[in-house]
Amino acid sequence: MELAGRLWNHVPGMLAALAEAGSTWPKIDVGEMGNLMAYLQAHPARDPAPDFSKGRLLLLRKGCLKCHSLAREGGRGEPDLAEPRADYESAAAWAAAMWAHTPGMAAMAITKGIPYPRFSGDEMGNLVGFLKHAAATAPRRRTQTAPSQ
Ligand code: HEC
């Protein structure tokens, strides 16, 4: 998860550099992300157990709720972060999902004038740990289908 945080931080700079070079965003799927993490010697299995209360605080401090809702509270943007997501289950899956979607988030942050959040140390692990916990415990409207992926 620490590496997922570092990849996240990396996005705005990469976007700018790629735009200048006229290139498109590289695609990395979950398997490739797992291999990349192994190569970079990130060890998700050694992630410490997440601290839910720190994770909840991070969700506010990092500004996720300026755009997203959590169990229908907060921002109006989809997806609601308390919807169960397969990518909360592993660091590689989370990093791959964030890798694919951060260009969209960073672009929206720029147009809305919202500072793009940065992560260090165990912050990403605590945040995603809290989201996974929230997704498992949040009341859910039955009519809604969980996001595919
Ligand atoms: C400036 C607004 C903004 C902020 C701040 C923001 N997001 Fe997003 N988020 C978006 C947008 C827009 C999308 C859709 C992007 C896309 O699909 O390319 C998205 C997509 C997502 C998705 C779905 C990815 C998928 O696989 O569909 C998740 C999960 C997510 N954000 C989590 C977070 C978390 C956690 C934070 C805080 C650390 C955060 N977001 C902060 C705007 C934001």
Which residue lies with its CA nearest to atom 34 of ligand 1? 64
pTM: 0.83
CB 5 within 8 A of CB 102: no
- Higher-pLDDT residue of 124 and 103 is 124
Asked whether residue 147 is assigned to any structural domain, the reply reads no
On average, the pLDDT of the chain sits at 85
pLDDT for the residue numbered 131? 94
CB 116 within 8 A of CB 106: yes
**142: confidence class by pLDDT, cuts 50, 70, 90:** low
Token output for 16: 């700018």
pLDDT for the residue numbered 19? 80
**147: confidence class by pLDDT, cuts 50, 70, 90:** low
Q: How far is CA 8 from CA 14, 81, 124, 129, in A?
A: 10, 17, 9, 16
pLDDT in tens, 30-64: 888 888 888 887 777 778 899 999 999 999 998 88
Residue 95 burial (CB count, 10 A): 28
Cα-to-centroid distance, 41 and ligand 1 (Å): 26
Alpha-helical segments (H) within 25-147: 30-39, 52-61, 91-112, 123-137
pLDDT in tens, 128-137: 999 999 999 8
What's the domain count of the chain? Answer: 1
Q: How many CA atoms lie within 13 A of 77 on its CB side?
A: 12
What integer is the mean pLDDT of 106-124? 87
Whether 6 has a pLDDT exceeding 80, the answer reads yes
pLDDT for the residue numbered 127? 94
79 lines ligand 1 (CB under 6 A): yes
Whether 148 has a pLDDT exceeding 70, the answer reads no
Asked whether residue 117 is assigned to any structural domain, the reply reads yes
Q: How far is the C-alpha of 58 from the C-alpha of 124, rounded, in Å?
A: 9
Asked whether residue 27 is assigned to any structural domain, the reply reads yes
Asked whether residue 144 is assigned to any structural domain, the reply reads no
pLDDT for the residue numbered 44? 74
Q: How far is the C-alpha of 8 from the C-alpha of 116, rounded, in Å?
A: 10
List beta partners, residue 74. Answer: 69
Amino acid at 102: T
Q: Residue 8 CA: which ligand 1 atom is closest?
A: 38
